[in-house]
């Protein structure tokens, strides 16, 4: 009973606090990145609730045509992305309880477009909606932004829409030609198509020897890049807390909060440590994914962490991993998962040693089962309660003793807090 209360009570308290905050909040602030939300909310105080759109909430349709009305001024036909419908639904709930909505997306044309899309999708009135921008996440900058709101810049919005429409028009018109003439799966764009033309013209002017040298230089560049990635994976991180990601290029399904990571590690009996402790090998695809991410987000990733069994770590004295890069404010971006460490059987296997409570339940059930089997198989005619209780206690003490003997001999314990430890004595 006490255990149930201890589990349920914190959950109920957290739920009531969330409901109270939603009900009482007079101001709703919407940002792009979930990593910024918690920090900004702390600066603004109890009258503000801060939520994230996680980048764009709607775009041109991926299926069913171009999504542009060419006959009517190239008007785009937007739709809410499938993976953003739950985000929109949550934001609408908060809008209903807020007197003022503050659109705090980035100041560039993409951020301005996101603010406009939010205004349209959430059906925000101009009087109740304010646009704010800031260049750093500090209390002074945030409060100054709130004091100096503005309207959405329609010129920036139009610039972003023009870029998006051009991308779609060029892609839809040229990509099918590439599929017929060259190869299926190729794509064309307003920038890459021009770049390809320049490369082709340059290549025509190259002699065969120069082509070989050019190809060799590309391979050399790849080798240097791969070496740099592996060095950063094995070295002590320079930047441990945050990496800069382009929010529009982020896969929302790959974002994990530290609380979720903790649950995974405890449930599957895994560690979450810096990659410098990792002694296993990395598949080639890991290096490829890191370099691809760095090119896509125009950054150098660092501070990698990895989820893996303790045996795969080079732990300080006293099977298959998940590689992460930090995003800040307790959020991590999943780069690659390989192997079967999150197999359901592993979760079942380590359920009994997940924490002290589970360990106690396991010993109780095992002792009870042993008592019943002993009574039925050996002492079938004996039903004396005192005898059965003594037999039960015998098994409890026996299993506890064996457990402590196993722990002492192997240098292990059964703490749920070992998921962040770099020491092998609490494996």
Three-class secondary structure of residue 287 per DSSP:
helix
- Token look-up 């094995």 returns 234
Judging by beta carbons within 10 Å of its beta carbon (0-12, 13-18, 19+), is residue 389 exposed, middle or buried?
Answer: exposed
**What tens digit of pLDDT does each residue of 366-424 get?**
877 877 777 776 666 666 667 777 777 777 777 776 766 565 444 455 555 555 555 44
* CA R_g for the chain: 29
Lowest-pLDDT choice from 70-79, 282-291, 379-388: 379-388
- Please give the sequence-ordered ranges of beta strands (E in DSSP) within 338-407, or none if there are none: none
pLDDT beyond 70 at 118? yes
User: What's the mean per-residue pLDDT of the chain?
Assistant: 77
pLDDT value of residue 319: 44
306-321 residue pLDDT tens = 888 877 777 654 444 6
pLDDT of residue 227: 86
Whole-number Å distance between alpha carbons of 264 and 256? 11
The backbone torsions φ and ψ at residue 228, rounded to the nearest 5 degrees and listed phi first, read -65, -40
Taking a C-beta distance cutoff of 8 angstroms, is the pair 375, 391 a contact? yes
* Angstrom distance (rounded) from CA 141 to CA 10: 35
Structure tokens, 71: 């006959």
Neighbours of 228 (CB within 10 A): 15
Distance CA 248, CA 297 (A): 9
Q: Give yes or no for residue 340 having a pLDDT over 70.
A: no
Q: What is the pLDDT of residue 193?
A: 75
Give the domains, in start order, of the chain with CATH numbers: 17-159 (3.40.50.140), 174-234 (no CATH), 247-344 (no CATH), 351-426 (no CATH)
Instruction: Tell whether the model's pLDDT for residue 323 goes beyond 50.
Output: yes
- Smallest CA-to-CA distance from 392 within 426, 366, 418 is with 366
Per-residue pLDDT band for 296 (boundaries 50, 70, 90) equals confident
Indicate the pLDDT class of residue 202, thresholds 50, 70 and 90. Answer: confident
Higher pLDDT, 337 or 339: 337
Q: Pseudo-torsion of CA 250, 305, 298, 136, nearest 10°?
A: 80
pTM of the model: 0.47
Average pLDDT over residues 74-83: 88
More confident residue, 427 or 332: 332
Tell me how long the chain is: 427
Among 153, 147, 112, 150, which Cα is nearest to 248's?
A: 112
Alpha-carbon span 342 to 335, nearest angstrom: 16
333 CB-contact burial (10 Å; exposed 0-12 / middle 13-18 / buried 19+): buried
Determine how many CB atoms are found less than 10 A away from the CB of residue 138. Answer: 12
The pair of structure tokens assigned to 235 is 């070295």
Mean pLDDT, residues 116-132 taken together: 88
Token pair 């896509």 in the structure block, residue: 296
Q: In this predicted structure, what is the pLDDT of residue 318? A: 41
pLDDT tens across 16-55, in order?
455 444 444 688 999 988 888 888 888 888 889 999 998 8
pLDDT in tens, 344-374: 676 676 666 666 677 777 778 887 787 777 7
Q: What is the dihedral of CA 140, 146, 152, 156, to 10 degrees?
A: 0
pLDDT on residue 411: 45
Residue 189 φ/ψ, nearest 5 degrees: -145, 170
Q: Is the predicted pLDDT of residue 218 greater than 80, yes or no?
A: no
How confident is residue 104, by pLDDT bands cut at 50, 70 and 90? very high
Alpha-carbon gap, residue 406 to 422, rounded angstroms: 21
């Amino acid at each position: 009973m006490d255990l149930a209360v201890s589990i349920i009570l914190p959950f109920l308290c957290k739920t009531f606090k969330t409901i109270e905050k939603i009900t009482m909040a007079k101001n709703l602030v919407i940002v792009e990145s979930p990593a910024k939300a918690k920090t900004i909310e702390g600066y603004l105080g109890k009258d503000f609730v801060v939520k994230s759109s996680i980048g764009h909430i709607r775009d041109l349709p991926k299926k069913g045509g171009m999504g542009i009305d060419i006959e009517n001024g190239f008007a785009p036909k937007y739709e809410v992305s499938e993976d953003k419908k739950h985000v929109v639904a949550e934001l609408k709930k908060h809008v209903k309880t807020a007197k003022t909505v503050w659109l705090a997306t980035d100041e560039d044309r993409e951020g301005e477009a996101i603010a406009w899309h939010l205004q349209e999708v959430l059906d925000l009135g101009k009087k109740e909606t304010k646009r704010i921008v800031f260049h750093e996440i500090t209390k002074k900058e945030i409060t100054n932004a709130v004091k100096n709101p503005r309207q959405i810049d329609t010129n920036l919005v139009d610039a972003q829409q023009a870029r998006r429409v051009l991308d779609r028009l060029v892609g839809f018109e040229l990509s099918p030609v590439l599929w017929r003439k060259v190869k299926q799966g190729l794509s064309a764009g307003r920038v890459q198509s021009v770049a390809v033309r320049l490369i082709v013209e340059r290549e025509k002017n190259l002699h065969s020897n120069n082509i070989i040298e050019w190809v060799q230089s590309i391979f050399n560049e790849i080798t240097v890049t791969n070496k740099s990635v592996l060095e950063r994976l094995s070295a002590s991180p320079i930047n441990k807390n945050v990496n800069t990601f382009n929010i529009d290029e982020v896969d929302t399904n790959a974002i994990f909060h530290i609380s979720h990571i903790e649950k995974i590690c405890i449930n599957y009996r895994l560690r979450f440590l810096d990659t410098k402790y990792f002694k296993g090998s990395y598949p080639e695809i890991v290096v490829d994914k890191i370099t691809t991410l760095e090119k896509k987000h125009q950054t150098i990733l660092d501070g990698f962490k990895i989820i893996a069994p303790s045996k795969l770590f080079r732990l300080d004295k006293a099977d298959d991993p998940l590689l992460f890069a930090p995003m800040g404010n307790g959020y991590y971006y999943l780069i690659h998962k390989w192997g079967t460490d999150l197999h359901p059987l592993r979760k079942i296997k380590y359920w009994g040693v997940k924490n002290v409570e589970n360990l106690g339940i396991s010993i109780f059930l095992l002792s009870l089962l042993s008592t019943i089997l002993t009574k039925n198989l050996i002492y079938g005619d004996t039903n004396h309660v005192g005898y059965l209780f003594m037999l039960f206690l015998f098994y409890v003490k026996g299993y506890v003793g064996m457990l402590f003997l196993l722990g002492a001999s192997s240098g292990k314990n059964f703490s749920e807090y070992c998921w962040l430890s770099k020491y092998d004595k609490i494996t």
